[in-house]
Structures are given as structure tokens and as C-alpha cells.
Chains A and B, each alone.
Chain A
Amino acid sequence: MLFNSVSFLVFFPVVFILYWFATRGNLKWQNILLLAASYYFYACWDVRFLFLLVFSTGLDYYTGIKMDESENEGRRKFWFWLSVFINLSFLGVFKYYNFFITSFAEGLSNVGVNVNIWTINVILPVGISFYTFHGLSYVIDIYKKRIKAERNFIDYSLFVSFFPLLVAGPIERATHLLPQIKQNRKFDGDNAINGIELIIWGFFKKVVIADTMAIIVNKVYDQPSSYGATGLIIAAVAFSFQIYCDFSGYSDIAIGTSKLLGIDLIKNFNFPYLSRNIAEFWRRWHISLSTWFRDYLYIPLGGSKLSTLLSIRNVFIIFLVSGIWHGANWTFLIWGGIHALLFIPSFLIGSNRKYKEDIVHQKKLFPGIKDVLQIGVTFLFVTIAWVFFRSATVSEAVNFLGDIIQNSKGKNLAFENSEILTIIISFAVFFSISSYLLYRKNHLVHTTKFRQFAISLLLLILITLFGQFTKQSFIYFQF
């Protein structure tokens, strides 16, 4: 079930009404209802993979308790590694097996050894990367004795499967979400209004900006070699906005939906394209994933506290793993590698820890010329890296970038006047509201009730007028 589908428009109000009215505020029944709704939400996509989700949940629940109960360090280690091994095996088989086996065979064939390989023909279970990471963070936290194992299976299952975040995050931590699941929830009117606003804002970003950009992007990326430099540049920039608005739009809808159910999820985006260097970009882009890798991979590897060489190795590891997390393709690996290469200079000169405040903060209402230049350069590099992320193959990405420099003769993108006007109006509203949100610290709730209302109404009208309602899936569902 997609957030931008008619079925969700029926599903969510039913869940909302049952949740607040039929359960009479009974926490146990609220959680049972949310779990049932979450499983139904997932089963709408493919009921067979629901069993995988339930198995993975049961495994982490059981090994968590076993780790908690074990006095013996060896036994704790056994249960920990069992959980990690099985979780990663599922991920490996469904997501990476074909990639590694075919890459291995291609490598052998390059040195003259031909082997017959066996590939599996199976679709990727939606959300597997997200719920596996939920589970992994939970067992790692128990193993590191940061938290105690959850004994209530319903509560734990809800932590893993809570439908707003089940298929595309944000990747929650047990320390943040589980206490909320176990706590009585009261309806908070202001919080719910903020939730509605976030949902509308998320929908606007998804169906108006991202899905309109998708039309341009898909047209060019289907036949990149036939387009000239201008068409390719437009498509590359359009993809930067498509992926941002698609994914941050999804996150806003997820966070807004949760707010309506009295649960706060962590923030996943914080104006990433206003970053002044790559390090700042990664503090603002897909925050729940980058902090996950920081806490569960980078720091355990020694982080930046080792020698320069080993620290650089760690940087490469997290960026390459982050790349491959997105998909089993060399393009994602190279995308991660490019970000590592862009990150390392600022890491070496120590500027990676700069810019922890928003570009527009209390003492500064407008960015300076230097800020604007830095933002422009960072956006340029990020956009170049996205070309690898979006392309089907590495050679396609290389040719795409090469043609931007060399090919001025290919065809241009043709737009009707109406399409140009639609894009101008949509982006004018997008930039205006983004600036306003930035100025208001990302919360419409901090503004007057009238402005809250007016902004929501304007967005609702624009969604109706300009939204693309073509059942376009969210990009991050494939990860």
C-alpha cells in the first residue's frame, strides 16, 4: 500500500478512528490494533513476505531475551552473532546474492575462467533493509548493554513493524521508539495539527515536485545518449530534486502519520541542499541512516580516533557500505565512493565538524555570499554523484557525465508553456515554504494559527491542481 494511494486514504482514517475511539485509550489494545494494521499494510504489498518479517521479528525478540538472560559472555556472544548472521543472511540472499555471484563470475571470466553460476529469481521484499536495521540496532544495543530486552512480543513487533516507518524508514532506535510504544498515549491537538500539516507538505513534495521531476528524469535517463548537454544537465538537477522531495516527502508523511497516532519519529532530513560541505550534507540527509552507520559501524571500527590512515579507511567503509545498502549495483558503490572522496578533504583539514548550526539561525537571517558559493559547490558535487545513483550502469553514468561536457548536438528537452508554468509555480511555492520552514525551525506549529491554516490550504489546492496521480512508487521502496 502506497501513502499516495486511494487505499491508504481509506485505511488510515479507519485505523485513526478505531485507535482513538474504539480502544478507549487502552494501551494494550492500541498496540494490538497498530500491529494488526501494520501487518495488513505490509501484506497489501505481498502477503508471502509477511512471514519473513514475522520470522525476523521473532528471531530478534528471542535472541534479545536470550542475551539478556545469559550471564555467560560466550553465550551472549553466540546469541548476538546468531541474530546478526541470520538477519544479514536474509538481506544477503534477497538483496545481494545475485549481484555478488554475477560480479564474481564476471571477474573470473575477465581472467579467462568461465564458470556456470546459479542465480535466484526472487523479488526484493519491500522494506527489508529498513526492518533488518531496526532489528540489528536492537540486538546490538542489548549486546552492548545499552538497553534491556523487550519481553512483550506485541510491543517489540510493533517497534519493528510500525506501518508509517515499515517500508522506508526513518530507521528508528529502540531507545527512542520502544518507550513511546510502552507509554500511555494521549491525544494532543497541536501535535495532531502539526501531523496533518506535515502529511500535506510531504504529499506536496512527493506528488507535485518529485513526480513531476520524475517525468523529465525518466524521459532523459531512458535514452541519455540521445540528449545534448542542456537536456542532461536539466535531468541531473531534476533528479536531485526528485530524490530529495520523494524521500523527504515520504519521511514527512511517515512522521505526520505517527504524530496523529501520538508517536514521535526521528527527523530524517534537515535541508540537505543548504549544506556548505559534504560532511554537513551527511548530517542533514537521511539522518536516521547516517547516524545508524555512525553509531553501529564507524564508531565500533574506531571512528576518527585511530591513525589518519585507519580513519580514512573507516570513512571509506561507511560510505561504501552506505552505497551498497541502497542496492546491489556497482553504481551505488561508486556513489558511496564519490561521497567518501568528497568527505576526506574536509575530514583531513578538520572542517567536517563545522556548520552544525542551520544556515539561517538566530543571529543570521540570510546566508552570505561565501555561504551561497559553498552551498552551490556542494550541490554540484552531490548532483554529479546522483548521476551514478540514478544510472542503470556505471558506463551509462560515465557517458552521461561525458556527454554533458562534450555533446552539444543531441536533442533538447521540449516543454509546453503550460508545463513550464506548472513547474515555475510549484517550485516557487516549494522554495517559499521551505525558506519559511527553515526560518521557523522546521515547524509550522511555531507560527500563527492563521498562517498554519493558510499554508496547509494552499498546499492542498496545489496538490489537487498539479499533483501527478499515476501510482508512482516512492524511490526508497526499492531499497
Chain B
Amino acid sequence: MAKFIKFFTALLLVFLLVNFLYLTLLPKIDWDFGKTREAYRFKNKQLKVLVFGNSMAMDGVNTEMLSGVFGPAYNFSVGGASLETNLIQLNEYLRNNAKPAKVLLMLGSAHTNYRNGNEVNPIIDYYYGDDFVVKNLKGIPLFKFRWLFIENFKKLLSANHRSAIVVNGQLRINSIVPDISSKKNKLDSCLQNDVYNAPGYSGMWSIIDVCKKAGITIEIFEMPCWKEVQNNCTDINISRKTGDSVYNLQINNLNNFNRCDTLLDPKKDWLSKNHLNYSGSSKVTREIIRMLANTISPVNPN
């Protein structure tokens, strides 16, 4: 029995050690982990523009360009983030830092199934969730952050992934995957108000609520996607009554196929399905700046 117990215990201990090493390594090698740790350490920061979203916004919004126009901006977006995740990030930032002038919430409704997804991104949960002991006991790191293994494994195979950098929270990868999908051109592909009232969007309404109460201007955008899921909507007006407040907002639709045709080159501006590369992100951010210029005073109009 002693021999077996020795083998079994050693197996478990080394397995735990591997998990510990994985968790130690992740903030150093993984973009999502690294930037979340960076954001977690923000104290008394004076950012003017905060960008929230998932991986589409992490790749697709150039916060360096935004900073040049509107003042310090940071892209908080992380891969697979639900709107509930973005809400936690916003609240944590506001707790420890100065109020920003503007929050940009970048949705990816055509790519991400938000409808019932209120799960909190495990990385955000790790940094902002329970206390240290609980969070380390709650999930085996190799399991909890399992998707990051393949994401980081790609760096072994791809020079573009190895040379990628994170600037002001934006992930910049110089890879090109042409969009060879085709438009559906359906007239009914327009998103309706009721889509944005689905349970998975509750985080969005809470973000709106937090911003309104704190006096922060909020702008919401639908991120551009590949042709197969672009739509023919103009900007979308949404409304909801929450308690005593009635919120009427406009969602700026960057996923309109006419707008995408004008803005983006399908052969050069994509990094993977529905994810913009650096070139695409610069073009989209230029458009965002143009749209925002009407509602915010530029720090540097030139």
C-alpha cells in the first residue's frame, strides 16, 4: 500500500505543482492575463476614455489613437468577456481611480451569443472575484484557464503571435486572414431593440446605469464582423425603463455592410474570423473618432 500511496501522492503533488507553475507563467506570457493584471494595479489613474468589450474590441480598438485625440485611453477588453464581465471591470476601475470622461462599450452581437451569457470571464473572476484563498481553491488553473493554453501554444507556431504587443490595452497582431465569406443581404438581419433586452444584455444596462449615475458619457458600438454576419441596419435606437429611470440610447452600428465596405478592405484588415488586425483596427478607430468628435471636446483637434 505504501508504494501505491507514494505514487499516487507524488502524482497529485506534481500535478498541483504544474498548475501552480501555469498560473505563475500566465500573467507573463498571456495577453489577456497580462493586461488584466496591469489594469488591476491601476490606482488613482486619470484615464479619459475607457474601452470595454471582448476579443473583437481588444484587437479592434486602437486606444493609442484615441489617446492622441481625447486624452489617456485604455482598452479593458478581454477575450470571451460577457457584458457582466465588463460591468465588473468598470466598477473596479471607478472604485480606485478618477472618473473618466467617456466609456466606449463595444458589442459583438453578430459574433458573440450574449443572449444568455452572464458568465464572468475566469481571468476577471481571478483578479476581482473572491479572496485569494477561495479563488485559488475554486478551480484548477489548468482547467479554469484551459483555453489560454492553446492561445499561447500558437506563439510557438506563429511568428506573428510571438511579435504581437499590447499597447494601452489593445492587442496588436500583424497577421492577415482575408474575409472570403459572402454577404447574406437579408433585409431581416437587422438587430431589434428586444435583442438588447435579452438576459445576457443585463450587464450592458447596468453599465449604462453606472455611467449615467456617475455622469460619464457612454457610447455603444456594434463591432464590424466578416461579411457573412454584417447587417443592413442603420444605427439602432434602444430604450429601457429601469426603476425610475428611462434610458434611450443609440447603438452606433459599425457592422452595417455599407459602412464596412467603405471602411475596411476584406483582403487586408482581418486577423481571423470577425477579428480585426492592426490595420483594420486603425481604420475602425478613425471612424469611431470621427463619430465621437461631434459629442466630445477633442484634447488635440489636429
Q: Which A residues are closer than 8 A to B by beta carbons?
A: 20, 187, 189-190, 192-193, 196, 416-418, 421-422, 425, 453, 456-457, 460-461, 464-466
Contacts and interface: CB of A to CB of B under 8 A. Distances in A.
A457 B2 contact: no
16 contacts: A187-B1, A187-B4, A189-B1, A189-B3, A193-B4, A193-B7, A196-B11, A416-B273, A417-B272, A418-B151, A425-B153, A456-B11, A461-B15, A461-B142, A465-B143, A466-B146
A193 B3 CA distance: 9
B149 interface: yes
Contact of A421 (B1, B146, B153): B153
Given A193-B3, A421-B153, A464 B146 contact: yes
B137 interface: no
A358 B3 CA distance: 32
A246 B129 CA distance: 37
B154 A421 contact: yes
Interface residues of B, number: 24
B8 interface: yes
Contacts of B11: 196, 453, 456-457, 460
Q: Is the interface of A mostly helix, strand, loop or mixed?
A: helix
Nearest to B149: A465
Interface in B253-292: 272-273
Nearest to B10: A453
Nearest to B177: A417
B18 interface: yes
B142 A465 contact: yes
B7 A460 contact: no
Q: Is the interface of B mostly helix, strand, loop or mixed?
A: helix
Nearest to B147: A418
Contacts of A417: 154, 272
B140 interface: yes
Contact of B18 (A20, A425, A457): A457
B150 interface: yes
A432 to B, nearest CB: 17
A418 B153 CA distance: 9
Contacts of B142: 461, 464-465
A228 B3 CA distance: 54
Interface in B1-31: 1-4, 7-8, 10-11, 14-15, 18
B7 A453 contact: yes
A190 B272 CA distance: 50
B15 A422 contact: no
B10 to A, nearest CB: 7
Most A CB contacts (10 A, CB to CB) among B8, B11, B140, B157 go to B11
B149 A196 contact: no
A417 B158 CA distance: 12
A190 B150 contact: no
Given A453-B11, A457-B18, A464-B140, A418 B150 contact: yes
Contacts of B18: 457, 461
A460 B15 CA distance: 8
A464 to B, nearest CB: 4
A196 B18 CA distance: 19
A71 to B, nearest CB: 49
A196 B150 contact: no
B298 to A, nearest CB: 39
